[in-house]
Chain A
Amino acid sequence: MYAQMVKSEASQDDPVKLAEFQARIDAGEKIEPKDWMPDGYRKTLIRQIGQHAHSEVVGQLPEGNWVTRAPTLERKAILLAKVQDEAGHGLYLYCAAETLGVSRDEMTEMLLDGRMKYSSIFAYPTLTWADMGAVGWLVDGAAIMNQVPLQRTSFGPYARAMIRVCKEESFHQRQGFDIMMKMCNGTDAQKNMAQDALNRLWYPSLMMFGPSDKESVHSTQSMAWKIKISTNDELRQKFVDQTVPQAEYLGLSIPDEHLKWNDEKGGYDYSEPDWDEFFDVLKGNGPCSVDRIAARQKAWDDGAWVRDAMTAHADKKAAAQVAAE
């Protein structure tokens, strides 16, 4: 998902306190920043929320790529609004992570030097305008699938950030599907572009949920702590079952010859994505991985004088105010 392969940290804490903490979570209580929490809970959450925040921010790049080339002024305004929302999502999440004792600058530096990751999906290129449709439809669709249950996560600031994010997210998916509808009802060439976008983005979208974690210790711990609500496979199945009929509506075909309805499980059987490719992308070897970090580094470096100037201005104003009192 936006946070993939998050390793949980073991806790070296007092067993009595750990049991009390688990009891609070089991009772459905929210954990707030000043409450006692196991060290492992704090560290795992910093990693998870940080990665989620980075994904929102880096996720602006593949779409920002098309803002100046949107086909109409209206599409441009809509895309700009969507990309702006993603900046907001990044901010909500950075603020939630900061309540755990890490600063936003530290997290930014960890993204830039590779200690923290962002979602594999944003290491793929957006080659045509139809990709803006497919990204909104599939990528934001997959994100919603993951973020809706996270509104019930045990850490209060994270849950509240997710509630805000979810309120804004459904516009993203619908504007994407709207682009797909337009293209699928257009000329043959336009419909082919839509099919091509689906072909390229289908498996990377399935990868967003991460590899099967049924037997993963990290996943078991995170689920006990309610910082992960559903398994990767559950979410991926839900996503496939929801998306296939939508593709049919568009008259597009899912690029999977093994896709088949399974009456017994009440869902589709589908082919797994190439997990070797996924691990390689996570390591920073995706088609756009180098560009993405370079763009973030450039924004960070080029913005330094602005941040400094505003701090200097605030200092000067504060000094003038003290002098006037």
Chain B
Amino acid sequence: MTDKREWPLWEIFIRGQHGASHRHVGSLHAPDAEMAIKHARDVYTRRREGISIWAVPANSIAASNPSKKGPLYDPAEDKVYRHPTFFNIPKEVGPM
């Protein structure tokens, strides 16, 4: 008898050699976390792309709503002073 359930989807995050953060690289199906990591090793690190793997069940990820883009991100638009280039430092002061 065949079990018609599909293996759940996992989102895979990989950290490279040089200490950067884990980055999302893609997703895959696996029956459990252990197999998800084994599959991720086979699919996403065949060319030494990383030395650490996170596998997260896709349905555990909470995501922001794309239709709420405005209210979420617009407030950042008029706060240019958050960027260093907003401030003019005279040349005589030297590098800062």
> Which A residues have a C-beta under 8 Å from some C-beta of B?
32, 34-36, 81, 84-85, 88, 91-92, 95, 98, 103-105, 160-161, 164, 168, 304, 307-308, 310-314, 317-318
Cα separation A84 to B66 with both chains bound (whole Å): 36
Q: Which chain B residue shows the least CB distance to A94?
A: B29
Q: Are B66 and A34 in contact (CB under 8 A)?
A: yes
Pairs across A and B, CB under 8 Å, 20 listed:
A34-B65, A34-B66, A35-B66, A36-B67, A88-B46, A92-B26, A95-B9, A98-B9, A104-B6, A105-B6, A160-B26, A164-B25, A307-B2, A308-B2, A308-B3, A310-B31, A310-B32, A310-B35, A311-B31, A312-B3
Q: Which chain A residue shows the least CB distance to B44?
A: A88
B55 CB to closest chain A CB, in angstroms?
13
Cα separation A98 to B43 with both chains bound (whole Å): 17
Name 10 extra pairs, CB < 8 A, besides A104-B29, A307-B7: A81-B46, A88-B42, A88-B43, A91-B43, A95-B27, A95-B28, A308-B2, A310-B7, A311-B31, A313-B32
> Which B residues have a C-beta under 8 Å from some C-beta of A?
1-3, 5-7, 9, 25-29, 31-32, 35, 42-43, 46-47, 63, 65-67
B53 CB to closest chain A CB, in angstroms?
15
Q: Which chain B residue shows the least CB distance to A81?
A: B46
Residues of A within 8 A of B31 (CB): 310-311, 313-314
Q: Are A311 and B3 in contact (CB under 8 A)?
A: yes
Contacting residue for A311 out of B5, B27, B42, B65, CB 8 A: B5
Residues of B within 8 A of A103 (CB): 6
In order of increasing CB-CB distance, the 7 nearest A-B pairs are: A314-B31, A314-B32, A310-B31, A308-B3, A95-B27, A304-B2, A88-B43
Q: Which chain A residue shows the least CB distance to B39?
A: A91
Q: Are B63 and A34 in contact (CB under 8 A)?
A: yes
Residues of A within 8 A of B25 (CB): 164
Q: Are B26 and A164 in contact (CB under 8 A)?
A: yes
A302 CB to closest chain B CB, in angstroms?
12
B57 CB to closest chain A CB, in angstroms?
12
Residues of B within 8 A of A311 (CB): 3, 5, 7, 31
Residues of B within 8 A of A104 (CB): 6, 29
Q: Are B32 and A307 in contact (CB under 8 A)?
A: no
Cα separation A307 to B1 with both chains bound (whole Å): 12
